Amino acid sequence: MSMRRVAWFPRLLLWSSLLCLAAGAGLLAWQSHAQDNERIALVMTVEGAIGPATGDYFERGLRRAAERNAELVVVQMDTPGGLDATMRSMIRSMLTSPVPVAIYVSPSGARAASAGTYLLYGSHVAAMAPATHLGSATPVQMGGGFPGMDERDEEEDATNGEDETNEERNARENGEEEQDADETNDAEAAEGDAPADTRRRGETAMERKVLEDAVYYIRGLAERHGRNADWAEEAVREAVNLTSREALEINVIDVVASDIDDLLEQIDGREVVMERGERTLSTADITIERFDPDWRTQFLQVITNPNVAYFLMIIGFYGLIFELSNPGALVPGTIGVISLLLALFAFQLLPINYAGLALLLVGLALIVGEALMPSFGILGMGGITAFVIGSVMLMDTDQLAVSLPMIGGVALVAAGLMLWVLIRFTGLRRRPARTGQEQLIGCHGVALEDFQHEGHVRMRGERWNSRSSVALRRGDEVRVVAVDGLTLEVEPLQRAAR
């Protein structure tokens, strides 16, 4: 009887396990169904400059919202601006997203400057908290000319204009036909007056291209969502700003809300323009789900900081140099490889000027060359010059750049290293030789026999052939004055003393 009970126990355990698994699967399916039917608003947070890390976080948030079939994505934003490429990528994702996106400038005191203004115009719902502002959307010139170039161009244009005016006056005084003078005036108006505004701003041709591109880009976004396109153009051309209340009054934004709950309440029932037509928002009694930046976003924000990426590259370069100069140390090589790979990954995401990067690497190579093959500072000075110029040129935008104190600090360390090498090299050259035949010069020995010209002396316990212009007697102390192969030239010690 007991054996039968034991035989039934495994079966009972198996059926119990299967029943638990079925119940668990059913519970998961019910929860999944409940989540699918739940209306949610996914809330994200964007703070600081718009960069590669922000773009990656934003893309993942939109994918998460699409997977959860969210009703709305709310992006709480406080930004001074950022990279143009990242901003345009985020706007493209918004325009093609199946989930409406509301850009909400908050909390009070926040701003949507530069790239933030474009993101507001590209969003399906543009909202701001009280005491916030937007604007200053003028694009910054990338890779521009040298300082002062525009001023010189302006002066040249003004001089040319004055010369043409003098010619015109002289022509009229000489009795040329009035029609010709009118034609000259028309030509001057076409050539001189048209770019007068741009001369006033000191803009180059490239800056005008960038400016016009930005103007019509933001106007297109404004027209798509029915917002004030004229003010958008003014924000780009003149870098003007608006407070949240002013922006609401002139139809730059849609809502001024004190918090997210207030925002969701105000936009309930609002129609927004999506890629496939209009859509009515239903945000009443909606569940708020937060999607905050995770470790990946924070890690990307750290390594894509230009100062961090720059420092990682320096550490990686010197780590590899130390490993190659001391094979088998392992620690410098390991740290160098990891740092260099992280720096290269960051540079791949950042807007790098490759000419600046090449100059920087050449400068580092010359500095290392000075340490390995001293050239009395020639390689070192050239290396430091190339290093500093390359570091300044490294980032191709003013929004993200390596700080000048960082560049100066690294340059000073490199200069100190070069100076230390020069001092040690000079000191070594002044030291007496410690090895080879040269170390025998100045040493004392004893004559082993009487000799007039050639004989033998004992030097450091060894018997040496020697020559002397003075007659020596056995036992006389001598001093080495020169070495000729295996023969020592000596002189009596008493004579040397005299």
Mean pLDDT of 244-250: 96
The closest of 385, 402, 380 to 393, measured between CA atoms, is 402
Q: Which residue has the higher pLDDT, 484 or 439?
A: 484
Predicted confidence at residue 428, as pLDDT, reads 60
Residue 436 has pLDDT above 80, yes or no: no
- Of residues 219 and 166, more confidence is placed in 219
| Pairing mode of beta strands 111-113, 125-128 | unpaired
Taking CA atoms, 303 is separated from 15, 240, 298, in Å, by 54, 33, 9
| Single-letter residue type at 132 | T
- What share of the chain in percent tops pLDDT 90? 36
| CB atoms near residue 218 (< 10 Å) | 24
pLDDT tens, 172-214? 445 444 444 444 444 444 444 444 444 444 467 888 888 999 9
Res 78: pLDDT: 96
Give the Cα separation of 227 and 222 in Å (integer).
5
Q: Can the peptide bond before residue 107 be classed as cis, meaning omega within 30 degrees of 0?
A: yes
pLDDT digits 0-9 by tens, 71-110: 999 999 999 998 898 999 999 999 999 999 999 999 999 9
Task: Characterize 25-62 residue by residue with b for buried, 16 or more Cβ atoms within 10 angstroms of its Cβ, and e for exposed.
Answer: eeeeeeeeeeeeeeebbbbbbbeebbbbbbbbbbebbb
Q: How many residues would you count in the chain? A: 498
pLDDT of the residue at 418: 74
* Max avg pLDDT among 98-107, 293-302, 369-378, 473-482: 98-107
Across-strand partners of 479?
444, 491
The model's confidence at residue 364, banded by pLDDT at 50, 70 and 90, is: confident
Rounded to an integer, what distance in angstroms lies between the CA atom of residue 496 and that of residue 62?
Answer: 93
Closest of 424, 426, 336, 411 to residue 380, by C-alpha:
411
Give exposure, 432-446, as e/b (b: 16+ Cβ within 10 Å).
eeeeeeeebeeeebe
Mean pLDDT over 151-169 rounds to 44
pLDDT at 117: 96
List the one residue out of 461, 469, 462, 470 whose CA is nearest residue 486.
Answer: 462
Comma-separated ranges of CATH 2.40.50.140 domains in the chain: 437-492
Chain segment 269-319, per-residue pLDDT in tens: 999 999 888 999 999 889 999 999 989 888 988 888 889 999 998 898 888
350, 304 in Cβ contact below 8 A? Answer: yes
Using the predicted structure, report yes or no on whether residue 451 has a pLDDT greater than 70.
yes
Distance CA 280, CA 124 (A): 11
Tokens representing 35? 């989540």
Q: What is the pLDDT of residues 310-331, one digit of tens each?
A: 999 889 888 888 887 777 778 8
Rg (CA), the chain: 40
Q: Given the structure tokens 């706007």, which residue do they identify?
A: 91
Do residues 115 and 82 touch, judged by C-beta distance below 8 A? yes
CATH architecture of 40-140+205-294: Alpha-Beta Complex (3.90)
34-81 confidence digits (pLDDT tens):
455 578 999 999 998 898 999 999 999 999 999 999 999 999 999 999
Helix (H) or strand (E) holding 102: strand 101-105
pLDDT band at 164 (very low <50, low <70, confident <90, very high): very low
Q: Are 421 and 370 in contact (CB under 8 A)?
A: yes
487, 466 Cβ separation under 8 angstroms:
yes
pLDDT above 60 for 155: no
pLDDT reading at 166 higher than 80? no
Residue 126: phi and psi, rounded to 5, are: -105, 120
Instruction: Flag whether pLDDT at 371 surpasses 60.
Output: yes
Going by pLDDT thresholds of 50, 70 and 90, the confidence category of residue 268 is very high
**CA 321 – CA 213 distance, rounded (Å):** 45
Note the CATH number of domain 437-492.
Answer: 2.40.50.140
Q: Which residue has the higher pLDDT, 75 or 417?
A: 75
pTM over 0.85: no
Lowest mean pLDDT across 9-18, 48-57, 287-296, 488-497: 9-18
Distance CA 448, CA 462 (A): 11
First to last CA, the chain: 125
Do residues 399 and 49 touch, judged by C-beta distance below 8 A?
yes
| Amino acid (1-letter code) at residue 488 | L
pLDDT for 6 beyond 60: no
- Per-residue pLDDT, 120: 96
pLDDT band at 154 (very low <50, low <70, confident <90, very high): very low
Ranges 6-10, 216-220, 343-347, 462-466, most confident: 216-220
For residue 29, name the pLDDT band (cuts at 50, 70, 90). low
Between helix 354-372 and helix 378-393 the angle, nearest 10°, is: 160
CATH code 3.90.226.10 region(s) in the chain: 40-140+205-294
Identify which has the larger pLDDT, 239 or 200. Answer: 239
Residue 496, pLDDT > 60, answer no
pLDDT classification of 147: cutoffs 50, 70, 90: very low
Using DSSP, state whether 278 is helix, strand or coil.
strand
The pLDDT value given to residue 454 = 87
Q: Are 267 and 254 in contact (CB under 8 A)?
A: yes
Is residue 146's pLDDT more than 60? no
Average pLDDT (234-254) is: 95
The residues facing 133 across adjacent strands are 111, 243
Average pLDDT, the chain: 80
Per-residue confidence (pLDDT) for residue 325, from 0 to 100 = 74
Alpha-helical (H) ranges within 97-148 are 115-122
pLDDT of residue 283: 92
Q: Are 308 and 302 in contact (CB under 8 A)?
A: yes
